[in-house]
Amino acid sequence: MCGVRARNHSSKLGEEQEHELAGKTVGIIGAGMIGKTIARRLSGFEVELLYYDPVRLSAEDAAKLRMTYCERDELFRRSDVVTLHAPANESSHHMICERTLALMRRDAILINTARGELIDEAALYKALREERIFAAGLDTFDQEPPDPQNPLFTLQNVVLSPHAAGPTWESWPKRFGHSFANIERVARGEPPLWVIPELRSS
């Protein structure tokens, strides 16, 4: 849109690095509902799908989604794109750090639409500034709303979005419906549905 408004309708071949997903390896961290949805949406792009999750998928689900389990460090080494879909907890805090960034390829892209706490932002800034990874797409940050002076905002190889894509107009009836259904279940003495796994035992 910015290009159209600026009347910039042409591009010079080779001036920018634009890449296709076809033939690339995408590593998905977190194979819960969202991670599996991402895998389904990537199915038409001719990519190899790796995944890491502490709870492995059944052989049937993995085959259906064409996802191959991979230990986390190996996933970082092999992936052209790493996309995060893990919850924020003690074991996932700053899983993206100096050590794991050093495992990634220089042409790799990191995407975080999950939780800001998954990334050590200082380590990511350093890796991006030194071009030790190619780029990052960030929808969420360690501090939200993020500090306008966040150094990541100064980098040209970072794409930013405001962590506001969830509440679509169509989602509100579902949200209220789920809430009312859970109120009725609890009133009947039944356990609520859609409980975050870490809270199930509390």
Closest CA to 128 of 148, 146, 110, 147: 110
- Same structural domain, 39 and 87: yes
Q: Is 34 exposed, middle or buried (0-12, 13-18, 19+ CB in 10 A)?
A: middle
Q: Name the catalytic one among 144, 184, 190, 198.
A: 144
- Same structural domain, 50 and 145: yes
Task: Answer for the pair 36, 65: CB distance below 8 angstroms, yes or no.
Answer: yes
Q: Name the catalytic one among 78, 85, 115, 117.
A: 115
Q: Which two tokens stand for residue 71?
A: 């230990």
Judged by DSSP in three states, 81 sits in strand
> Would 76 be classed as within a structural domain?
yes
pLDDT of residue 12: 67
pLDDT of residue 184: 97
Task: Answer for the pair 85, 115: CB distance below 8 angstroms, yes or no.
Answer: no
- Rounded Cα–Cα distance for residues 154 and 31 (Å): 32
> Would 5 be classed as within a structural domain?
no
pLDDT of residue 105: 97
pLDDT of residue 7: 73
- Name residues of the chain where pLDDT drops below 70: 1-4, 9-15, 197-202
Q: Name the catalytic one among 72, 105, 132, 163.
A: 163
Residue 93 a catalytic site member: no
- Same structural domain, 155 and 176: no
> Would 149 be classed as within a structural domain?
yes
> Would 190 be classed as within a structural domain?
yes
Range of the domain at 172: 166-202
Closest CA to 104 of 80, 130, 139: 80
CA dihedral of residues 2, 42, 14, 105 (deg, nearest 10):
110
- Rounded Cα–Cα distance for residues 185 and 44 (Å): 39
- Same structural domain, 54 and 132: yes
pLDDT of residue 196: 74
- Same structural domain, 172 and 145: no
> Would 8 be classed as within a structural domain?
no
pLDDT of residue 109: 98
- Same structural domain, 172 and 153: no
Residue 163 a catalytic site member: yes
Looking at this protein, which amino acid is placed at residue 186? Answer: V
Q: What is the CATH number of the domain that holds 123?
A: 3.40.50.720
pTM attached to this predicted model: 0.85
- Same structural domain, 134 and 173: no
- Same structural domain, 104 and 74: yes
> Would 12 be classed as within a structural domain?
no
Residue 94 a catalytic site member: no
